[in-house]
A and B are shown apart, each in its own frame.
Chain A
Amino acid sequence: MISQAIAGRVLNAAGETGGDFAELYMEDAVSNRVSMLNGVVENAAYTHSCGAGVRVLKGTRQVYAYTADTSEDALIATARAAAAALEGVGEGQDIAFSAVDYGKAPLIPSETVTNDRRIKLLRDGTAAAKAVSPEIVQVSASISDSSKDVFVCNSAGLWVTDKRPSARYYVSAVASDGTDMQTGGEGPGRAMGFETFDQFDLCAISADAARLAVTMLHAPECPAGNVPVVIDGGFGGVIFHEACGHSLEATSVAKGNSEFCGMLGKQIAASCVTAIDDGTMPGEWGSIGCDDEGTPAQRNVLIENGILKSYMIDLLGSRRMGLPVTGSSRRQDYTFAPTSRMTNTYIAAGTDDEEEMIRTMGTGLYAKSMGGGSVNPLTGEFNFSVSEGYWVKDGKILTPVRGATLVGKGSEILMKIDRVGPTMWMAQGVCGSQSGNVHTNVGQPRIRVSSLTVGGKGDAL
């Protein structure tokens, strides 16, 4: 993207006022999106974004400036704007760069795909969803695929490139009986080229979304109460992402704003819980070749048999905490300074029987699929919505229920996990935090929590 000579001048300009570390990040991203409503192509859009960000560190102070103009003059001006925030004098230096390429070219790059291929997939998926029931009144579907070239260099001589393809299908179905409306959605994706769609049966997935909408249309409202909850794998992993993952990011931990500060080596979860953040899983939605500071992706064991083993740490967090970086520094795009984030985060498979969990739970909720959620890392208070829930009475599934929300505190729920099933699977999400929206996978096997607050507006079942 840029010559080493220019990069050297930009980094030296950034260091003019005595910063001890300067970094240049550049990206060039192209994306295509086609959306369909009820089988009719609604919109097609193409975007090309590119830009650069310059970061200067002095101890634990961070300065960041970015620009959409990537000419040498603009980059130098951006570097000077960043440097101006620090008061000091720096010495110019010759930086010896050593280049590493972490990028792997996708099989079918987004830029080689024409809209007719996207439209074919959308049409088939829509038809499969509509075929589920006459109560399906609306199906919207979209395909987004993109490719992003990332480049990072810094004053310590790092020079890395990465290639980040991604492709995702999203389908949402609405079921209605004339007065009431319920929705169901699925959004499978991979950090791969268009070959992503060979890995999924989009028709089956679309039909699942439609079935969910129909099921919820006929489901009574979920009753409120404190009950045992069984949470399935896949997007059920959002429970760990929200209730614990965010509180293990250096963003929260380094400043003492997490309930898990100072807990390394201590028990923070039931002993059946092992949790991992792994950015190296080939082609997975949250995977990266290197992170946005140029550190290669890592597999980080966060919790092992209930004991806290590691946080997720970026360079600034590393300086604040005195711990090594973990390949976790990410950002949405060049308009954000990078910070510690999750990649593919999951609770590892255990040994408990999936059926027994429900059979022995008494009265409670079986959350088959989850919607999104959020957390306050300081207090650990989380909430998330259940998109497909079933009320269990005396160990037997009684009826689907709609409108359930789960709330609690991260440190409490982790200790209350009393079953972990043998098969882990993941689902795709977009996580929003300080450095913008990044692609993350969440995952877990089926698990059981001995007691949780379930919110809903239904009467007792």
Chain B
Amino acid sequence: MTLEQFRQAAFDAALALGCESAETYEVSGGDFAVTVLDGEIDTYNSSRSFGVGLRVIVGGKNGYAYTELLEDAETLVRRAMDNAAVIENTDVIPMQGAQSYPTVTPPAQPLCGMSEREKIDLALQMERLAKDVDPRFARAEYCGVNSSWTKTGIYNTLGLCAEESSENGSAMFYAIAEENGTPQCSGTYRSGVAALDSAAIVKEAVEEACARFGASPVAPGDYPVVMRFDAAEALLGGFSGMFSADAAQKGLSLLAGKENTRIGADCVTIIDDPLHPIDPSAFDAEGTPSVTKTVVENGVLKTLLHNLKTALKAGVQSTANASRTPGTPVSVSPTNFYIQPGEKTLAQLLDDMGDGLLITEISGLHAGLNPVSGSFSLLANGFLVEGGKLVRPVEQITVAGSFLSLLGDVCDVGNDLSYETYGCGGIGAPSLRIKSLKVAGAE
């Protein structure tokens, strides 16, 4: 059975069995990945995948069922209807009708147009070039390129037909450097045109690893901090769930009811822009046309992120932040979500701080960060800063605080907005100068 035949069979069965409406969320994709080690292919992956998520509305309730086997549409419909029958939540979850969408132009992904041989050569080239960056480079923990395509389609019996394709081509290099038998490591990820610049990728990874030699903790205490863009980005990503109206309506976000009140310093403006050229999308997972919105404007919370259900409940319009995978129910997520950059360079932020810490990496976010309580206590790496200059690398410290206090304590925002961590949209942040954070480390 083809996808189209399966979809039609499911819709026919759903309507015949008494559903008010039915929708399929279909995702198919292909993926190619190769890694190299010592001048040879190490691993090679190639794949094709697809899945169909069915949603039915029956008696005003949503029910879901997912399959990767296109055989028996009616059984799938019955599964979804069984699931709808047990829902007790009385929230109305509408289905989007027919819409028209803006045309979006995704960024160039030259890697996706290359032959497999060319992709393999690109990976080999990274490994070769790394050896010239610094004699302390020992080997690559990971050296590879990846290309993928995804096709998403949302169709329903109300006439919705939303289709989109996207591609991503990326290179990743994870360098291990050694000095006196001690290893240090650092990784760099690039997608789009930047993925082809092997020299820049390996230079960044190797230099960052080498800069960490001789790292040690600092004494515990309160330190003025500059969070470099990548660390700021990871923190913003970890707490992005607080901006979900779904979390707020369920009593799981400290931002509930805080619209039009101050939640951060004047210099903090946060944008959610699904149309941003770094990774544009014309619609969300419910088929609502994308809209750009200012979430926080000069420190004031302007809106939470909504899908159709939360918007209806709050009496506002959906902000086109519905998200889902084919196998899971609709939820809310940010799209391209970033802190608007300011004027100053990282060097100027450090100068302004004088003495303190530059934090370049935070880890353990899934455990040491709680979006419900808004607090964090995280392993961090970085540099000790004196008189605006990096004095020595710092490791094995923790930084702790609360996200909302931190937003209020932002003194200045850098001009170096980056999407480093995700590389292809998602969360972005510039470097942030912060009044102070609590630091633990060995005496």
Contact = CB atoms under 8 A, between A and B. Distances in A.
Given A180-B373, A383-B398, A47 B65 contact: yes
Interface residues of B, number: 75
A43 to B, nearest CB: 5
A398 interface: no
B366 to A, nearest CB: 6
Interface stretch (A101-109, A283-291, A348-356, A449-457): A449-457
A408 interface: yes
Interface in A306-337: 335, 337
B426 to A, nearest CB: 18
Contacts of A383: 363-364, 367-368, 378-379, 398
A457 B7 CA distance: 54
Interface in B377-401: 377-379, 395-401
Given A181-B373, A378-B176, A457-B377, A224 B251 contact: no
A371 to B, nearest CB: 5
B368 A337 contact: no
Contacts of B44: 61-64, 82, 85
Nearest to A43: B329
Given A65-B45, A66-B49, A255-B141, A46 B65 contact: yes
Contacts, number: 232
B86 A46 contact: no
Nearest to A28: B69
A contact face: mostly helix, strand, loop, or mixed:
strand
A378 B83 contact: no
A68 B64 contact: no
B180 interface: no
A149 interface: no
A48 B379 contact: no
A379 B68 contact: no
B223 to A, nearest CB: 12
A193 B130 CA distance: 51
B441 A457 contact: no
B67 interface: yes
Contacts of B278: none
A49 B89 contact: no
Contacts of A49: 51, 66-68, 327
A46 B64 contact: yes
A47 B373 contact: no
Interface stretch (B35-43, B163-171, B335-343): B35-43
Contacts of B401: 457
Contacts of A378: 141, 176, 183, 185
Interface in A419-451: none
B4 interface: no
Nearest to B438: A457
Contacts of B79: 46
A257 B370 CA distance: 31
A385 interface: yes
A390 B63 CA distance: 44
A42 interface: yes
A183 interface: yes
- Between A37, A62, A383, the greatest number of chain B beta carbons within 10 A of the residue's beta carbon is seen for A383
Nearest to A452: B442
- Between A68, A373, A402, A455, the greatest number of chain B beta carbons within 10 A of the residue's beta carbon is seen for A455
A46 B443 contact: no
Interface in A54-74: 60-69
A61 B377 contact: no
A375 to B, nearest CB: 9
Nearest to A409: B396
A405 interface: yes
A50 B395 CA distance: 44
Interface string A78-109: 10011001000000000000000000000000
Given A174-B372, A453-B217, 7 more contacts: A44-B64, A49-B327, A372-B366, A374-B366, A379-B183, A381-B396, A455-B378
26 contacts: A43-B83, A44-B64, A44-B87, A65-B45, A66-B47, A68-B51, A78-B48, A82-B46, A85-B41, A85-B44, A85-B116, A140-B250, A183-B373, A224-B400, A224-B439, A225-B220, A226-B443, A371-B367, A372-B366, A374-B364, A383-B363, A385-B367, A385-B368, A405-B398, A455-B368, A456-B400
Query: Sorted from nearest, which 9 A-B pairs have the closest CB atoms?
Result: A455-B398, A224-B440, A383-B379, A372-B367, A44-B83, A383-B364, A457-B400, A457-B438, A405-B377
